């Protein structure tokens, strides 16, 4: 049932995939891969709040599943343009380490400490290129923190210098900062690497029936 659902989802047949996942969950409501894949399908359907419900059910069973944390971050970031991050344990953008934050949400200093929906996933897996890009994309698209966002795109590019999502999003931030020449150079490179790339938050891949949780 799970593998059939994954196959349907990969064909864009998300509603049918959910039916397969529901059959698996009717047998075992705590089947983590069914919970994960259903949340992912709901994400793809734009049903972000419902997706978060299933991710939370999974995280109650496997608290540090990185793929689930990333995908929940995508759902949270996609919910509304006015999504408000919570200042708790956030990133120190100079060091990349986690620090306790007491500053207000509207702190606009040169080195702001702001929590994004991807911080826990990034703490657990700091060299995951998609999580790095999702973090940077959130900072740029939702908070307008373009210079800080570029730090994360550059970290992803140090791992994979041809990673198209990082190239495109770094170009977008450079464009917003007025560096049109640098942005255009990156856009041209991205176009050569993947002319069909669609710029959006990046979901972690689906999990087949024999896949293990990505817990750390």
Q: Where are the domains of the chain?
A: 2-63, 89-193
Backbone φ and ψ for 90, nearest 5 degrees, come out as -120, 180
CA dist 98 and 122 (Å) reads: 10
The neighbour count for residue 194, using CB atoms within 10 Å, is: 13
The correct CATH number of 89-193 out of 3.10.620.30, 1.10.3720.10, 3.40.50.2300, 1.25.40.10 is 1.25.40.10
Of 37, 121, 109, 22, give the one whose Cα is nearest residue 77.
Answer: 121
| Residue 104 pLDDT | 28
| Residue 107 pLDDT | 33
Of 129, 177, 189, 178, give the one whose Cα is nearest residue 154.
Answer: 129
pTM given for the model:
0.82
* Shared fold status for 2-63 and 89-193: yes
| Residue 210 pLDDT | 77
| Residue 110 pLDDT | 36
CATH code assigned to 2-63? 1.25.40.10
The DSSP line for 139-156 is HHHTT--HHHHHHHHHHH
Name the DSSP class of 212: P
CA dist 104 and 87 (Å) reads: 7
CA dist 40 and 205 (Å) reads: 9
Residues of the chain with pLDDT under 50: 82-112
Of 31, 94, 110, give the one whose Cα is nearest residue 39.
Answer: 31
């Amino acid at each position: 049932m799970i593998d059939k659902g994954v196959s349907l989802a990969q064909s864009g047949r998300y509603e049918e995939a959910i039916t397969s996942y529901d059959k698996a969950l009717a047998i075992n409501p705590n089947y983590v891969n069914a919970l994960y894949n259903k949340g992912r399908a709901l994400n793809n359907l734009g049903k972000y709040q419902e997706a978060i419900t299933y991710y939370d059910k999974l995280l109650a069973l496997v608290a540090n599943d990185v793929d689930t944390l990333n995908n929940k971050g995508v759902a949270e970031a996609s919910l509304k343009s006015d999504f408000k991050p919570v200042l708790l344990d956030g990133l120190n953008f100079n060091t990349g380490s986690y620090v306790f934050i007491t500053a207000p949400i509207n702190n606009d200093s040169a080195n702001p400490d702001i929590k994004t929906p991807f911080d826990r996933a990034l703490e657990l897996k700091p060299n995951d290129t998609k999580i790095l890009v999702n973090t940077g994309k959130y900072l740029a698209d939702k908070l307008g923190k373009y210079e800080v966002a570029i730090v994360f795109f550059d970290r992803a590019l140090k791992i994979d210098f041809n990673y198209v999502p990082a190239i495109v999003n770094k170009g977008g931030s450079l464009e917003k900062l007025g560096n049109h020449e640098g942005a255009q150079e990156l856009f041209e490179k991205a176009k050569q690497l993947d002319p069909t790339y669609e710029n959006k938050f990046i979901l972690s891949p689906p999990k087949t029936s024999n896949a293990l949780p990505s817990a750390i």
